[in-house]
């Protein structure tokens, strides 16, 4: 488990959440915040996060939507412990189970209204491994992306929603992994600036959904053509998400 000396205490949602993260391991940035913002959960519903890490996405969602039943599954014991600690210190109920999504623990073999996930972006093999094992496990997949989609689909109740964020260059693989159990797909590209290619995509899909596939207009993260000094220069909607914890459900309608 992580010692206090190995952790930083970081603010998310303009300091509304205080998150402990490892100094040299995997550190959450903006992706889990956007993942949480895209999940259409309503009060009283249940949510499972696959690969919850330190719990940032689930806790951002819990900070926005009251009375959710939040569960997280995390394979790495030290990160699962960190997610529990972060939930306690932010007084957001989150049940974290240690385990592998390909061998789903019995506690999680139930149906959920929502499943959210931020799978590793880099495929197995190739590239330079991260020096920290925890960071490497979070960023480079050992479990195929198709297994993430299958596990998520199995855990969804009929009519439930999968919300997932992934690197844009893995979009073909992501779409190939989705079978007839999921429908009503909507894909939201995330672009750093208007003249840049999308670096990330957020996918929403519904179990048993029948609506046609929709490719949405991109969400632009930064205003202006270039970085402006020391200011973050976030575009208004991105600032609403990252600073105020707002949802982006309206973008999907």
- Mean pLDDT, rounded, for 178-183: 98
pLDDT at 233: 87
- Mean pLDDT, rounded, for 236-248: 97
| pLDDT tier, 84 (very low <50, low <70, confident <90, very high otherwise) | very high
pTM (2 d.p.): 0.92
Q: Closest Cα to residue 141, out of 168, 120, 165? A: 120
| Residue 210 pLDDT greater than 90, yes or no | yes
Dist. CA 54–CA 78, nearest whole Å: 9
- Mean pLDDT, rounded, for 211-216: 98
The answer to whether 137 and 76 have CB atoms below 8 angstroms apart is yes
In the chain, how many domains are there? 1
Its domain, for residue 10, covers 4-252
How high does pLDDT run on average in the chain? 92
Q: What pLDDT digit, counting tens, does each position of 92-117 carry?
A: 999 999 999 999 999 999 999 999 99
Q: What pLDDT digit, counting tens, does each position of 150-174 carry?
A: 999 999 999 999 999 999 999 999 9
* Percent with pLDDT over 70 in the chain: 89
pLDDT at 253: 86
Q: Closest Cα to residue 39, out of 49, 30, 53? A: 49
The answer to whether 134 and 26 have CB atoms below 8 angstroms apart is yes
- Mean pLDDT, rounded, for 170-183: 97
pLDDT at 122: 75
| Residue 243 pLDDT greater than 80, yes or no | yes
Q: Which residues on adjacent β-strands are paired with residue 9?
A: 20
Using a 10 angstrom Cβ sphere, with 0-12 exposed, 13-18 middle and 19 or more buried, the burial of residue 103 is: exposed
The answer to whether 107 and 133 have CB atoms below 8 angstroms apart is no
Query: What CATH number has the domain bearing residue 228?
Result: 3.40.50.150
Q: Tell me the C-alpha to C-alpha distance, in Å, between residue 206 and each of 37, 38, 181, 188.
A: 17, 13, 8, 15
| Residue 223 pLDDT greater than 60, yes or no | yes
| Residue 126 pLDDT greater than 60, yes or no | no
pLDDT at 137: 54
- Mean pLDDT, rounded, for 208-221: 97
Q: What pLDDT digit, counting tens, does each position of 186-203 carry?
A: 999 999 999 999 999 999
| pLDDT tier, 239 (very low <50, low <70, confident <90, very high otherwise) | very high
| pLDDT tier, 225 (very low <50, low <70, confident <90, very high otherwise) | low
DSSP-assigned states of every residue in the chain: ---GGGEEEEEETTTTEEEEEESSS----SHHHHHHHH----TT-EEEEES-TTSHHHHHHHHHSTT-EEEEEESSHHHHHHHHHHHHHTT---EEEE-BTTB--GGG-S-EEEEEE---SBPSSSSPPPSSHHHHHHHB-SS-HHHHHHHHHHHEEEEEEEEEEEEGGGHHHHHHH--TTEEEEEEEEEESSTTS-EEEEEEEEEET--SPPEEPPPEE-B-SSS--TTS--B-HHHHHHHHH----GGGG-
């Amino acid at each position: 488990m992580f010692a206090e000396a190995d952790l930083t205490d970081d603010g998310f949602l303009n300091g509304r959440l205080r998150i402990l993260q490892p100094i040299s391991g995997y550190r959450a940035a903006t992706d889990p915040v956007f993942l949480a913002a895209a999940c259409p959960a309503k009060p009283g519903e249940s949510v499972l996060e696959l690969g919850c890490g330190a719990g940032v996405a689930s806790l951002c969602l819990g900070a926005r939507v009251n009375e959710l039943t939040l569960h997280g599954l995390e394979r790495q014991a030290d990160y699962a412990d960190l997610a529990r600690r972060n939930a306690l210190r932010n007084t957001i109920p989150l049940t974290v189970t240690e385990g592998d999504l390909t061998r789903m623990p019995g506690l999680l073999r139930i149906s959920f209204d929502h499943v959210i996930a931020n799978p590793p972006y880099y495929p197995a093999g190739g590239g330079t491994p991260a020096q920290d094992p925890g960071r490497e496990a979070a960023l480079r997949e050992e479990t195929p992306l198709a297994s993430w989609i299958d596990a998520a689909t199995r855990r969804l109740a009929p009519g439930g929603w999968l919300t997932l964020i992934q690197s844009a260059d893995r979009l073909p693989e992501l779409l190939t992994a989705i079978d007839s159990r999921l429908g009503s797909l909507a894909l939201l590209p995330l672009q750093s600036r208007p003249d840049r290619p999308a670096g990330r995509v957020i996918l929403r899909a519904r179990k048993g959904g029948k609506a046609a596939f929709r490719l949405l207009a991109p969400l632009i993260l930064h205003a202006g053509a270039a970085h402006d000094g020391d200011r973050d220069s976030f575009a208004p909607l991105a600032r609403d998400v990252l600073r105020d914890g707002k949802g982006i459900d309206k973008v999907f309608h």
